[in-house]
Amino acid sequence: MKPVSNESSENYLETILVLSKRLPVVRSIDIATELDFSKPSVSVAMKNLREKKYIEVSDAGFITLTDSGMNIAKMILERHTLLSNWLVTLGVSPETAAEDACRMEHVISAESFAALKSHIQ
Average pLDDT over residues 34-41: 93
pLDDT in tens, 61-119: 999 999 999 999 999 999 999 999 999 999 999 999 999 999 998 899 999 999 999 99
The model's pTM = 0.86
Alpha-carbon distance 26 to 21, whole Å?
9
Q: Are residues 22 and 50 in the same domain?
A: yes
Indicate whether 1 pLDDT > 50: no
The CATH number given to whatever domain includes residue 82 is 1.10.60.10
Contact yes or no for 7/72 (Cβ under 8 A) = no
Q: Are residues 24 and 67 in the same domain?
A: yes
Residue 44 maps to a domain:
yes
Number of Cβ within 10 Å of residue 2's Cβ equals 12
Residue 21 maps to a domain:
yes
Q: Are residues 65 and 98 in the same domain?
A: no
- Banded pLDDT at 32 (limits 50, 70, 90): very high
Q: Are residues 24 and 60 in the same domain?
A: yes
For residue 55, give its domain range: 7-71
Q: Are residues 61 and 20 in the same domain?
A: yes
Residue 115 maps to a domain:
yes
Alpha-carbon distance 4 to 49, whole Å?
9
What's the domain count of the chain?
A: 2
Indicate whether 16 pLDDT > 80: yes
Q: Are residues 15 and 45 in the same domain?
A: yes
The CATH number given to whatever domain includes residue 59 is 1.10.10.10
Q: Are residues 62 and 88 in the same domain?
A: no
Indicate whether 51 pLDDT > 70: yes
Q: Are residues 51 and 81 in the same domain?
A: no
Alpha-carbon distance 118 to 111, whole Å?
11
Indicate whether 5 pLDDT > 80: no
Number of Cβ within 10 Å of residue 112's Cβ equals 11
